[in-house]
């Protein structure tokens, strides 16, 4: 039976590749859509695909609403869900279906874009608009009015007034991501073209969103925007806030089949974990038994990362297996007792700029100033560890290049490039102290008892277990002390425990179970089948938390995250 299933799946996979290639850019017109619909029994065995078979799957997914929801139901809302770009439409239609199944009325407001915002070709074929309109046409009827889909670009929105300064700022950040380059050369025609491209798309999103909210804001109870920190989503979020609408964002973070939620702002704001951290005493997180279990789980996660495990993570940046502190010191040419300061970068062009740049104007500025200052003021060996993801992204702007282009002689620095197979956690063990911009490694250093100086307003800064400068001058003064005798900064046992607790909250308590990561998951367990199974109970808290306003969510914190109750927190501890 297993062999026959594998053969069948292999045949279906090959068959699916035919329309995938045909409709990679141009999308099916009326005749092609009818032909595809004619073969619906076969097409439904394929993976859902935004670009050519969405109209077939819509019929199946709306059957979810014929199955009674589980009680108790949350307060019903009219939710606006934003959608755009490759891979989002299938996921967002299914999310809308699950929210409607929980009793909400959902409007999917979309931009007719089916290409990736950063991969060529980025410009959609003109057929995208007509195809999406046709594919989503019957959602309202099939859902009996519980879900409707609106093309935000329909209507005379050109005269809508928008914030051009914000458009310019976001175009710069989006260009940085698209070009994998933090430093933009305005003399470079490619750079200029990218900036104009993202200005145009930003203006389109901002005008379309403001025009829609100007007419409909009074009917909307909540907006949900995937991520919200980049590309079109950030402009829709800004428009929603301008009209006083509550906004929630969500995205993948570390683990598979998980979503990080953020109530009240984009995903990189980390407002939710800040709220939980402030309320941890009221939520019973000072209980000794809870603390022991939570901090043990945090350490287990770090040890899995140390071992190179990819058992549950979305990506695998740390690939080198642990070889021990003594071995790694020998490999990088540092003596067994030689003092060592570890400097860890982020991927230069993916450093979450708008939320982090409170100490330095860029990661490059932080990196250059850090290495220059340490070369003058440190009596420790300087080990510069490039983020392993630099190699995965393949950008031409690397940690090494940033430092060398600044004219810094690296002969007295141990440089570990992204592709070098050295275990970061062994380096932490070897280090006397660490310096980071915003990488999670800084949190892990603190968990392992190392003093950590941060050069940004990263989400774990200011929580008591890192050294946080007021400004760049303060940072450099603190850095000189880190380069000398840093024993005054060694965290106490209580602060190490706090770092472990924060890690647990971030990687477990604030990670909400979600049934789908990609359309392949929808193929395996479509929503109509999912809601009929008992496993849906795992995901109901996620759906209900996502559909709460910031005020409702914070009021409900004891329901979800009280350390002594049988709830989402107790499941996070398992």
User: What does pTM read for this prediction?
Assistant: 0.94
pLDDT in tens, 443-461: 999 999 999 999 999 999 9
Instruction: Please report the pLDDT score of residue 84 as a whole number.
Output: 96
DSSP three-state, residue 209: helix
DSSP character at residue 255: B
Which one is predicted more confidently, 156 or 151?
151
Bridge partner residues of 388 (DSSP)? none
Q: Is 310 a residue whose pLDDT tops 70?
A: no
Which one is predicted more confidently, 565 or 394?
565
Peptide bond into 121 cis (omega under 30): yes
453 burial via Cβ count (<10 Å: 0-12, 13-18, 19+): buried
pLDDT in tens, 332-381: 999 999 999 999 998 877 655 667 888 998 899 999 999 999 999 999 99
pLDDT in tens, 184-230: 899 999 999 999 999 999 999 999 999 999 999 999 999 999 999 99
Here the tokens at position 517 are 């990561």
Sign of CA dihedral 419, 423, 425, 428: negative
Cα–Cα distance, 468 to 514 (Å, whole number): 34
Cβ-based neighbours of 452, under 8 Å, separated by 6 or more: 433, 434, 435, 436, 442, 445, 446, 465, 466, 467
* Average pLDDT of the segment spanning 521-541: 96
Instruction: Please report the pLDDT score of residue 4 as a whole number.
Output: 73
Pairing of strands 105-110, 78-83: parallel
**Residue 319 pLDDT class (50, 70, 90 cuts):** low
DSSP three-state, residue 173: helix
Cα–Cα distance, 331 to 552 (Å, whole number): 53
Give, for 267, the enclosing helix (H) or strand (E). none
Instruction: Please report the pLDDT score of residue 110 as a whole number.
Output: 98
Instruction: Please report the pLDDT score of residue 290 as a whole number.
Output: 96
Bridge partner residues of 385 (DSSP)? 344, 416
Instruction: Please report the pLDDT score of residue 282 as a whole number.
Output: 96
Instruction: Please report the pLDDT score of residue 226 as a whole number.
Output: 96
Instruction: Please report the pLDDT score of residue 171 as a whole number.
Output: 95
Cα–Cα distance, 24 to 128 (Å, whole number): 11
Instruction: Please report the pLDDT score of residue 44 as a whole number.
Output: 93
Instruction: Please report the pLDDT score of residue 87 as a whole number.
Output: 86
pLDDT in tens, 227-279: 999 999 999 999 999 999 999 999 987 778 999 999 999 999 999 999 999 99
pLDDT in tens, 425-434: 999 999 999 9
pLDDT in tens, 373-418: 999 999 999 999 998 888 776 667 889 999 999 999 999 999 999 8
Cβ-based neighbours of 129, under 8 Å, separated by 6 or more: 112, 151, 153
What Å distances lie between residue 21 and 115, 133, 275, CA to CA?
14, 22, 47
Cα–Cα distance, 401 to 407 (Å, whole number): 10
pLDDT in tens, 134-155: 999 999 999 999 999 999 999 8
Arithmetic mean of pLDDT over the chain: 92
Structural contact between residues 456 and 437, judged by C-beta atoms closer than 8 angstroms? yes
DSSP three-state, residue 413: strand
Instruction: Please report the pLDDT score of residue 397 as a whole number.
Output: 82
Structural domains of the chain in order of their starting residue, each with its CATH number: 2-277+514-573 (no CATH), 290-502 (3.40.50.2000)
Q: Is 15 a residue whose pLDDT tops 90?
A: no
Pairing of strands 258-263, 340-344: unpaired
pLDDT in tens, 283-298: 999 999 999 999 999 9
């Amino acid at each position: 039976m297993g062999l026959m299933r594998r053969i069948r799946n292999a045949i279906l996979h090959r068959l699916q590749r035919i329309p995938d290639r045909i409709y990679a850019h141009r999308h099916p017109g009326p005749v092609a859509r009818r032909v595809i619909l004619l073969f619906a029994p076969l097409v439904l065995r394929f993976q859902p695909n935004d670009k050519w078979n969405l109209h077939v799957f819509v019929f199946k997914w709306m059957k979810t609403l014929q199955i009674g929801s589980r009680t108790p139901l949350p307060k019903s809302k009219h939710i606006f869900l934003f959608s755009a770009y490759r891979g989002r439409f299938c996921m967002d239609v299914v999310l809308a279906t699950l929210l409607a199944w929980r009793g909400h009325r959902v409007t999917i407001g979309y931009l007719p874009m089916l290409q990736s915002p950063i991969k060529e070709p980025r410009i959609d074929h003109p057929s995208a608009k007509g195809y999406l309109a046709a594919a989503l046409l019957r959602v309202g009827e099939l859902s009996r009015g519980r879900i409707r889909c609106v093309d935000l670009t329909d209507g005379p929105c050109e005269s809508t007034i928008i914030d051009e300064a914000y458009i310019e700022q976001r175009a710069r950040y989006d260009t940085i991501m698209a070009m994998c380059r933090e430093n933009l050369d305005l003399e470079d025609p490619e750079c200029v073209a990218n900036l104009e491209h993202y200005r145009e798309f930003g203006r389109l999103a901002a005008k379309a969103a403001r025009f829609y909210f100007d007419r409909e804001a009074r009917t909307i109870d909540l907006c949900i925007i995937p991520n919200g920190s980049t590309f079109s989503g950030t402009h829709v979020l800004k428009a929603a806030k301008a009209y006083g609408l509550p906004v929630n964002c969500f995205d993948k973070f570390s683990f598979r089949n998980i979503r990080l939620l953020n109530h009240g702002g984009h995903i990189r704001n980390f407002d939710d974990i800040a709220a939980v951290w402030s309320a941890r005493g009221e939520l019973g997180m000072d209980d000794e038994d809870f603390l022991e279990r939570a901090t043990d789980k945090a350490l287990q996660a770090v040890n899995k990362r140390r071992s190179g495990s990819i058992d549950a993570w979305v990506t695998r940046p740390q690939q080198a297996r642990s070889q021990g502190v003594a071995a790694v010191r020998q490999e990088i040419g540092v003596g067994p007792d030689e003092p060592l300061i570890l400097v860890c970068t982020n991927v230069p062009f993916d450093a979450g700029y708008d939320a982090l740049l409170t100490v330095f104007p860029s990661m490059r500025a932080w990196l250059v100033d850090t290495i220059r200052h340490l070369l003058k003021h440190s009596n420790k060996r300087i080990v510069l560890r490039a983020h392993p993801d630099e190699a995965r992204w393949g950008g031409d702007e690397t940690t090494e290049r940033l430092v060398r282009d600044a004219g810094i002689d690296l002969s007295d620095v141990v440089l570990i490039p992204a592709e070098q197979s050295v275990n970061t956690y062994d380096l932490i063990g070897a280090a006397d102290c660490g310096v980071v911009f915003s990488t999670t490694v800084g949190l892990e250093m603190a968990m392992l008892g190392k003093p950590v100086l941060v050069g940004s307003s990263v989400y774990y800064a200011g929580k008591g277990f890192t050294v946080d400068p007021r400004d760049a001058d303060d940072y450099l003064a603190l850095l000189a002390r880190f380069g000398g005798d840093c024993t005054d900064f060694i965290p106490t046992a209580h602060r190490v425990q706090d770092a472990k607790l924060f890690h647990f909250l971030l990687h477990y308590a604030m990670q909400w179970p979600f049934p789908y990561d990609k359309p392949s998951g929808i193929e395996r367990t479509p929503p109509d089948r999912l809601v009929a199974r008992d496993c849906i109970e795992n995901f109901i808290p996620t759906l209900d938390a996502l559909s709460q306003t910031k005020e409702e969510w914070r009021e409900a914190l004891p329901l979800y995250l009280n350390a002594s109750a049988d709830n989402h927190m107790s499941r996070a501890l398992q």
